[in-house]
Amino acid sequence: NAGVMQNPRHLVRRRGQEARLRCSPMKGHSHVYWYRQLPEEGLKFMVYLQKENIIDESGMPKERFSAEFPKEGPSILRIQQVVRGDSAAYFCASSSGTNTDTQYFGPGTRLTVL
């Protein structure tokens, strides 16, 4: 009974490169959320997706960041032209049918931008 899976666990990129973070929700979950944790901070909401739909991306920077949750396959958080300030831990969470259900978090991807 696998939980939320994220890969890679660690990702190192140079400034200007692209970062792709993947999240596979728990089995049976169709709601996915991405959060970012900067050093010494709490997690901050970025985006909420259901299959093939972005429901709320109000927490995501307007430029360089995008997210998708295709009909098949994992959810992807994509960061183009990374900058040092993008260095953070990125957590994915999933929940079952209703969006008020408990969110279960993956182990996170730690992105380091050199």
Partner 1 sequence: DQQVKQNSPSLSVQEGRISILNCDYTNSMFDYFLWYKKYPAEGPTFLISISSIKDKNEDGRFTVFLNKSAKHLSLHIVPSQPGDSAVYFCVSRNSGGSNYKLTFGKGTLLTVNP
Question: Does residue 65 bind partner 1 (CB under 8 A)?
Answer: no
Question: Does residue 43 bind partner 1 (CB under 8 A)?
Answer: yes
Only one of the segments 11-19, 52-60, 61-69, 76-84 lies at the binding site for partner 1 (rule: CB under 8 A); that segment is: 52-60
Classify strands 88-95 and 43-50 as parallel, antiparallel or unpaired: unpaired
The structure tokens 């957590």 sit at: 91
Residues numbered 1-40 forming contacts with partner 1, rule: CB under 8 A: 4, 6, 31, 33, 35, 40
In the three-class reduction of DSSP (H, G, I as helix; E, B as strand; rest coil), residue 86 is classed as helix
Beta carbon of residue 15, minimum distance to partner 1 (angstroms, whole number) = 26
Residue 58 DSSP symbol: T
